[in-house]
Amino acid sequence: MLTVSEEESDLFAALRSGAHGYLLKDIDPRRLPEALYDVYIGNAAIPRPFVSLMVDEFRDSNPRHRALTPAAELEARLTSREWQVLDLLARDNTTAEIAARLVLTPSAVRAHIASIVRKSDARDRDDAVARFRARARS
């Protein structure tokens, strides 16, 4: 996302919507191609002051929830862990790979997947992933 907003709420809204970067329009023009390339290869492009905000936000002990889709905001809410599992599923990781990455048991991952499917009113895990990918594209 390329923006003029330095608001914390806008940063988090962009990240929750699937942005892999959050760059301010006053970025040094010589730095912009490198930042865009970073996003292209899968890295985040976020200015350091915003990284500090992100760290503070995740250190907060309150539970995190994000709506799966704006229309289903009240019906389907996923926990932060469920979002992590769903993101890894969307990246074509297996249950065992997700378990290893998140330091969970495979059965815990399967329980999270079942919860994701139920909360998103999807038919199965593939449908949940398809909905997640469609949401990320929009």
DSSP 92: T
Average pLDDT, the chain: 82
DSSP 49-96: HHHHHHHHHHHS-SPPEEESSGGGTTT-EEEHHHHHHHHHHHTT--HH
With the CA atoms of 108, 44, 50 and 132 taken in that order, what torsion angle do they form, in degrees rounded to the nearest 10?
-50
Whole-number pLDDT of residue 39: 84
Chain-centre distance for alpha carbon 83: 7
Whole-number pLDDT of residue 65: 46
Whole-number pLDDT of residue 67: 44
- Report which of 120, 117, 112, 116 is spatially closest to residue 75, judged by C-alpha positions: 120
Task: Please report which confidence band the pLDDT of residue 127 belongs to, taking 50, 70 and 90 as the band edges.
Answer: very high
Domains, the chain, ordered by start = 2-59 (no CATH), 65-137 (1.10.10.10)
Task: Please report which confidence band the pLDDT of residue 58 belongs to, taking 50, 70 and 90 as the band edges.
Answer: low
